[in-house]
Amino acid sequence: MIQIHYPKFKGFLIILAMTIALSTYIMLLVRSPRLLIDVWPLEGIFWETAIVILTITLLSYVLFRSSASVILSLAVQALLVVLLPVLRYPNALNIIGPWDSAAHYSFAKWIVEKGHVDTAGNLYYSSHYGFHPGNGILPAVLSMVSSLGLGWSMNAVLVVAYLGYILLLMATLKRLGHLEREKVEIGDTLWLVAIFTVSTHLSVYFSGAGPGFAFVGMIVYLFLRQLIRRDDNLRRSELLFLIAFFGVLVTHLSTAVVTVAYLFIALAILLITKTSRKGLEAWDFLRGAARLIALLLFIFLAYEIYVDVDLFGALVKHAYRIISSFYIEEVVIASEVVNVRGLSLVDLFLYLMSTHAKTVLVLGVALVHTVALIRRRKALDHGEKKLALLLVASYFTWTIGWAGVGSLLSGRRAIAVISFLLSLSIAATYKKLHGFVVRRRLALVVPAVLIVLGFSSSFGLPFEPMIKGDDEVYAYPTYSQGGFGDLALRPIMYASSHARDTSFLCLQPYTAFGLCDLMWDTPKIPRHGFIAPKITTPDSIIEIMRSYLGKNVIIPQPM
């Protein structure tokens, strides 16, 4: 007689149900590819996406009923954030976004084919990443040692970085003492998933900061672990700390600057407020942390001055000009937008809300939570107050991202640090600060809505204004998720009028981000700059495209 062990059989059924749900959703994406761009990547599949995300979250809870439920749910979200646009907009390179992605693909492809990192200016990103080549080396090595193509290797590196970040978040929360129970109620699971989903900004396409998420998570985790509880094996922690920082340093310059700045600011706040620990143990920690952070600063400056002084010097001068003039790109656009045909200030607001939806959401959550921390500060214990101070310290790093490019919303270059502290602080205090929502009858509905909102906003939100020009109506997509065909850039995008000084429909400014590096047989394409013909008819745009790429290429019709 065959005996069935019901707990194991139940677990098997749950895993089977999760597999079927994910497989069905992926089949939906694969069987309905979109050759032309959508205003919103979730257009036509929003409800299916919401159902599968919530189904996986609930099944994860039924399967584990512990913190593993939260980890599994967030891991699936990280996987889908990367895979969804690649499968929905298939292309020959298996990457998404003809901006950073194209330049990073070209940079990594050079490593695969030539066997070394290009620092001689042959590629658009040679000057940016020639001496910070981690973003190219990681996918290149993975591609060479496995059967994965370079595009899929880039996607895999991104997923692994996000998974590492999530695991370190959960490990830190456990270290704080908020995941000690073996059993976690369904309400706690939903709220934790919702908190991490709305507070963490995972980039949809391969960008410079993406692979550094895991390194940043490791640095903040080790810093908090020593702050919360002195580790017996201090030397090992310091070694891991230095390895993680070196990983950031050789991967992305801006992230390295943000990390060093945050550690200095956090240490200064701890010294001023004296909230680290009491007595001699406090000074031992602060002295040790000060020595370690000073060492990081020395390593950073020595590396940049000796290896990459030109890029570092140029960035410092550029940042100084932006800060001294208090230049904010969004303000400049707003002041000029009233003179651009067909676009009002309301349209501009909707554009910013949709294109930068996740950034705006994270900033909104941070604002609400910070106000709640201030108003209910007497209800917080010592550890929660300390975590709140560390969160406030992270806010100052937003100015580094702004100073780098002049766009206030581009301060999200510091999002890896801010999201880590924000998620921890909310998870540790949400029952105290927002208990009036948690304890209501419909309390489970609120986190479910937040989970769907947090995941969907990673792709922007469908609030895009329709831009009117003569007899045409067009829109700018919520993020630069275009794809590549075998012979031509796909799709041709409509750019918003306010993106340039004059009003026109514009080809995606792809050459500025390295697509020309991938088209060695098309010398007519300018290596730097962009193609922006001042025309408004699709047929004219196609003719311009043909003049650059040749008469025999197939160019799909735009929206």
Beta bridge partners of 468: 473
Give the per-residue pLDDT at 51. 96
Q: What are φ and ψ of residue 407, in 5° steps? A: -100, 125
Residues 160 and 275 placed together within one structural domain of the fold: yes
The 3-class secondary structure across 39-89, one letter per residue, is CCCCCCCHHHHHHHHHHHHHHHHHHHCCHHHHHHHHHHHHHHHHHHHHHHC
Residue length, the chain?
559
Which residues have C-beta within 8 Å of that of residue 29, sequence separation ≥ 6? Answer: 45, 83, 84, 87, 88
Question: Contact 243/219 with Cβ under 8 angstroms?
Answer: no
Are β-strands 489-490 and 472-474 bridged in parallel, bridged antiparallel, or unpaired? unpaired
Does residue 373 sit in the same domain as residue 392? yes
410 and 476 fall within a common domain? no
Q: Give the pTM.
A: 0.84
Q: Which of 403, 432, 459 is the last residue of a domain?
A: 459
Instruction: Decide if 104 is inside a domain.
Output: yes
pLDDT at 527: 43
- Do 290 and 374 sit in the same domain of this protein? yes
Kindly state whether residues 529 and 400 are assigned to the same domain: no
CA angle at 194 for the pair 370 and 62, rounded to the nearest 5°? 145
Provide φ and ψ at 461, rounded to 5°.
-130, 150
Residue 557 resides in a domain: no
519 shares a domain with 386: no
Kindly state whether residues 417 and 330 are assigned to the same domain: yes
In this structure, are 375 and 252 located in the same domain? yes
Distance CA 130, CA 531 (A): 26
One-letter identity of residue 171? A
SS (H, E, C) 82-109: HHHHHHHCCCCCCCCCCCHHHHHHHHHH
Alpha carbon separation from 73 to 14, 16, 19, 558 (Å, rounded)? 14, 15, 13, 37
Q: Is 2 among the domain residues?
A: no
Buried residues in 29-58 as b, exposed as e (16+ CB within 10 A): beeeebeebbbbbbeebeeebbebbbbbbb
Q: Please, which contacts does 400-404 make with residues 24 or more away whose CB atoms are closer than 8 Å?
A: 400/254, 400/257, 400/258, 400/261, 400/319, 401/254, 401/258, 402/322, 402/328, 403/318, 403/319, 403/322, 403/323, 404/254, 404/315, 404/318, 404/319
Rg (C-alpha) for the chain, rounded Å, is: 24
DSSP 494: P
Coil, helix or strand at residue 161? helix
* Last residue in a domain, options 459, 477, 503: 459
Helices within 308-414 (DSSP H only): 309-325, 329-337, 345-355, 357-375, 382-395, 398-405
Residue 3, domain member (yes or no): no
Give residue 500's pLDDT.
Answer: 34
Domain count, the chain: 2
Domain that holds residue 195: 8-459
Could you give the C-alpha distances from 169 to 360, 378, 419, 526, in angstroms and in order?
22, 26, 10, 44
Strand partners for 280: none
**Confidence at residue 331, expressed as pLDDT on a 0 to 100 scale:** 74
Question: In terms of domains, do 377 and 514 share one?
Answer: no
Is the four-CA dihedral 209, 213, 215, 217 of positive or negative sign? positive
Do 475 and 437 share a structural domain? no
Structure-block tokens of residue 442:
């419909």
- Domain for residue 558, yes or no? no
- Decide if 521 is inside a domain: yes
Q: What are phi and psi of 484, to 5 degrees?
A: -125, 135
341 and 472 co-located in one domain: no
Q: Which residues of the chain have pLDDT under 70?
A: 1-9, 34-39, 91-92, 97-99, 124, 180-182, 229-234, 274-285, 333-343, 411-412, 440-442, 464-559
Q: Evaluate whether residue 225 is within a structural domain.
A: yes
Is 62 inside any structural domain? yes
Residue that finishes a domain, picked among 437, 459, 481: 459
What's the CA gap between 476 and 489, in Å, rounded?
17
Q: Same domain for 187 and 253?
A: yes
Burial of 165 (0-12, 13-18, 19+ CB in 10 A): buried
